């Protein structure tokens, strides 16, 4: 039987986004504060996913051996380093989060059966790389606070309480929603970026956070006057709203994850060939297709 195991590691390092072929003005226009001398640092958290068959001892791999390989090939070299100088690969392509993940993959795959590298620059920004040439994934995490009421306008209060329970109470209730937006794209061979991070954050803020934050969704977002604002429907709406703006900045929307509470979350995986739009006449919550 095959199984995927995950090993966590960490390292602290600094980097700078700076291309010598560009002027100082051009570098700051392109990279903003990340171009400042002498760079800035992060406490990186690394997850290495490994695939293999269970052996007679109930293990895919001896994790002590895995730990030593990761330290020898990656963290022992990167910890307390200036990333731009530590590996030759970062002379050719800047050490962005997504590119660091890609290069770590290249360092580990000769020694371990790696199927995914996930690298957190901080808790609200991380990259995934699965070995597909220059293709990578970048996730931005953000949040908004909003109220909603789960009640379909065409149903009686009695029927709504039967379907939605306490969530159908007339005056609604609120959540601190956490939103994860994952985009997919090719890592640029010079800048190391699959998307302009500032542009991506602006799209998310302009199209989701600002319109949604401190609202009563049923009343303040016209779409939810007819569609029940379950977590599933909110995530689906966000995926449709973000799809085109993210394409316009050179990436594609891969996944929306909406965390309504520590106990409830949903995920929408996006098919960029079409939009999935729920019917406005439904009487049941739309379930996310994952």
**Count of structural domains, the chain:** 2
Residues 176, 93 share a domain: no
The verdict on 100 and 174 lying in the same domain is no
Full residue range of the structural domain in which residue 113 is found: 1-131
* Half-sphere exposure for 177 (CA within 13 Å, toward CB): 30
User: Running DSSP on this structure, what letter comes out for residue 187?
Assistant: P
pLDDT at position 277 is: 46
**Residue 70 and residue 138 in one domain:** no
For residues 124 and 191, membership in a common domain is answered with: no
CATH of the domain at 138: 3.30.479.10
Written as six digits, the tokens of 176 are 């601190």
pLDDT higher than 70, residue 129? yes
Q: Which of 111, 124, 143, 167 is catalytic?
A: 167
From CA 108, how far away is CA 104, in angstroms rounded? 6
Check whether residue 107 and residue 177 sit in a common domain: no
**Residue 89 appears among annotated catalytic residues:** no
Do 75 and 200 lie in a common domain? no
Q: Which of 254, 260, 266, 270 is catalytic?
A: 260
Instruction: For residues 271 and 229, state if they share a domain.
Output: yes
Nearest one of 140, 102, 115, 137 to 254, comparing CA atoms: 137
Check pLDDT > 60 for residue 283: no
Answer with the one of 131, 156, 172 that is the final residue of a domain: 131
Q: How far apart are CA 186 and CA 30, in angstroms?
A: 18
Catalytic residue check, 3: no
Same-domain check for residues 160 and 251: yes
pLDDT digits (tens, 9 = 90+) for 216-255: 999 999 999 999 999 999 999 999 999 999 999 999 999 9
> Model confidence at 271, in pLDDT bands (50, 70, 90)?
confident
Would residue 260 show up in a list of annotated catalytic residues for this protein?
yes
268/212 same-domain check:
yes
């Amino acid at each position: 039987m095959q199984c995927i195991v995950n090993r966590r590691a960490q390292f602290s390092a600094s980097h700078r986004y700076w291309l010598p072929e560009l002027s100082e003005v051009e570098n700051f226009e392109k990279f903003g504060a990340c171009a400042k001398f002498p760079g800035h640092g992060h406490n990186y958290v690394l997850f290495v996913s490994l695939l293999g068959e269970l052996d007679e001892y109930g293990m895919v791999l001896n994790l002590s051996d895995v730990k030593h390989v990761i330290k020898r090939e990656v963290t022992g070299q990167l910890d307390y380093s200036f990333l731009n100088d530590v590996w030759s690969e970062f002379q050719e392509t800047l050490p962005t989060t997504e590119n660091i993940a890609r290069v770590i993959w290249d360092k580990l795959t000769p020694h371990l059966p790696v199927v995914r590298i996930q690298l957190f620059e901080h808790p609200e920004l991380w990259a995934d790389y699965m070995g597909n040439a220059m293709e990578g994934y970048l996730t931005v995490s953000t949040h908004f606070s909003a109220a909603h009421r789960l009640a379909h306008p065409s149903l009686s209060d009695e029927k709504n309480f039967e379907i939605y329970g306490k969530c159908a109470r007339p005056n609604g209730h609120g959540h601190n929603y956490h939103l994860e937006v994952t985009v997919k794209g090719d890592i640029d061979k010079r800048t190391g970026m699959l998307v302009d991070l500032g542009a991506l954050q602006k799209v998310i803020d302009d199209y989701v956070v600002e319109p949604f934050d401190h609202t009563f969704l049923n009343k303040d977002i016209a779409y939810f006057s007819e569609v029940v604002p379950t977590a599933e429907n909110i995530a689906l709406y966000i995926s449709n709203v973000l799809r085109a703006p993210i394409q316009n900045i050179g990436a594609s929307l891969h996944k929306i994850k909406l965390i309504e509470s520590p106990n409830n979350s949903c995920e929408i995986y996006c098919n960029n060939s079409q939009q999935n739009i729920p019917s406005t006449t439904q009487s049941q919550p739309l379930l996310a297709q994952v």
